[in-house]
Amino acid sequence: MAVNYIELPYETDALEPVITKRTIEFHYGKHLKTYVDKTNDLIKGTEFENMSLEDIVKKADGALFNNAGQVLNHNLYFMQFEPQGSGKPIGKLEKAIDETFGSFENFTKEFEAAGISLFGSGWVFLIKDKDGKLSIEKGQNAENPITKGMKTVLVIDVWEHAYYLDYQNRRADYLKLVWNIIDWDEAEKRFEV
């Protein structure tokens, strides 16, 4: 079973001005496509060939882990956006965020601070552990909380290719504006699973 190259549920210019068409064309069109192709090349004829992407990430190491982890993280990242965003979380996720962080505003501040403080390339995750508790985690390179038995609710890419064409070295500006395009219905679904 091949690892699929996801189809975006929006046009390449739909997230502007937060993420421009040019960035989507490079980030989704080139970076993610390369990770998908490389993962498919690496699994051919191996024990990983018929595994789900999640199982590959849980069990692989080296180049396969790096490429498959990037595919998984990028899939989660790109599929959590919508052109107008949906404002703030609602339902069970809203309650859990308030209980964990005190308020949505405190959560966004802590999340942005985690993204700003991550040295080098990586990801910032809102994760749910096996007991349903939320926390913010930072991951370097292709790390994903699935390897520790946790579920990703929300993830923001802080590799430079995610924001450099639009924000240059202003990672903080990117992190502050990305809330405008979050699909909180998608985050809620991930939280409830």
Q: Closest Cα partner for 23 from 184, 175, 160?
A: 160
Q: How many CB atoms lie within 10 A of CB 17?
A: 9
27 is in an annotated binding site: yes
Distances from the Cα of 96 to the Cα of 13, 34, 44, angstroms: 33, 36, 41
Q: Cα–chain-centroid distance for residue 25?
A: 17
31 is in an annotated binding site: no
Q: Residue 114 is inside which H or E element, if any?
A: helix 104-117
Give the residue ranges of the annotated binding site.
27, 74, 157, 161
Annotated binding site for Mn(2+): 27, 74, 157, 161
